[in-house]
Amino acid sequence: MEPVISAIQVVPLEHYVFLSFALFSIGVTGVLFRRNTIILIMCLEIMFNSVNLLLAAFSAYHSDPSGQVFVFFIMLVAAAEVTVGLAILVMMKRNVDSVDVNQLNRLKW
Partner 1 sequence: MQYFFYFFALISLVSAAYVVSARSPVNSVIALIICFLSIAGHYILLNAQFLAMVHVIVYTGAIMVLFLFVIMLLNLNTVGGLRKSVATRIAAATSGGLLFLTLVAAVRQGITVAPQVGALDGSVGLVKSVGICLFNDFLLPFEVSSVLFLSAMVGAMMLAKRERPSDLPKPYTGNELVGATPPTMDPSNTQGSR
Partner 2 sequence: MPVLPLVGAIINAALRRSLSGNTSGGFATLMILGSFVVSLLLFMGHDPAAHPVKIVKFFDWINVGGMEIPFAFQIDALSLTMMLIVTGVGSLIHLYSVGYMHDDKRVATFFAMLNLFTFAMLLLVMGANYLITFIGWEGVGLCSYLLIGFWYTNTEFNYAARKAFVMNRIGDVGVVLGMCLLFNLFGTLNYVDIMDRAGSFGTGHGMIVGATLLLFVGAMGKSAQIPLFTWLPDAMAGPTPVSALIHAATMVTAGIFLIVRSSVLFELAPFTKDIILYIGTATALLAASIGLFQNDIKKVLAYSTVSQLGYMFAALGLGAYSAGMFHVTTHAFFKALLFLGAGSVIHALGGEQDIRKMGGLKGVTKITFITFLIGTIAISGLPPLSGFFSKDAILAHAFQDNKVVYGLLLFGAVLTAFYMFRLLFLTFYGTYRGTAHPHESPLVITVPLMVLAALSVVGGMLNVPHIFGGDEGMKTYLATAAEGILSERLGLSHTTEWILMGVSTVLVILTIVYAYGRFVKKTTLDGDPAQLFGLKKLIANKWKLDELYAMLFEKPYGWISAHFFSIGEEKVMVPLMTGVGNMTLRAGKVISRLQTGNTSFYVFGMVAGILVFLLITLFVN
Q: Given the complex with partner 1, which of 5 and 104 has the nearer CB atom?
A: 5
Angle between helices 37-62 and 66-96 (to 10 degrees): 180
Say whether 102 sits in a helix, a strand or coil.
helix
Q: Given the complex with partner 1, which of 88 and 104 has the nearer CB atom?
A: 88
107 binds, among partner 2, partner 1, none (CB under 5 to 8 A by kind): partner 2
CB 89 within 8 A of CB 37: yes
CB 21 within 8 A of CB 51: no
96 binds, among partner 2, partner 1, none (CB under 5 to 8 A by kind): none
Is 10 one of the binding residues for partner 1 (CB under 8 A)? yes
Is 96 one of the binding residues for partner 1 (CB under 8 A)? no
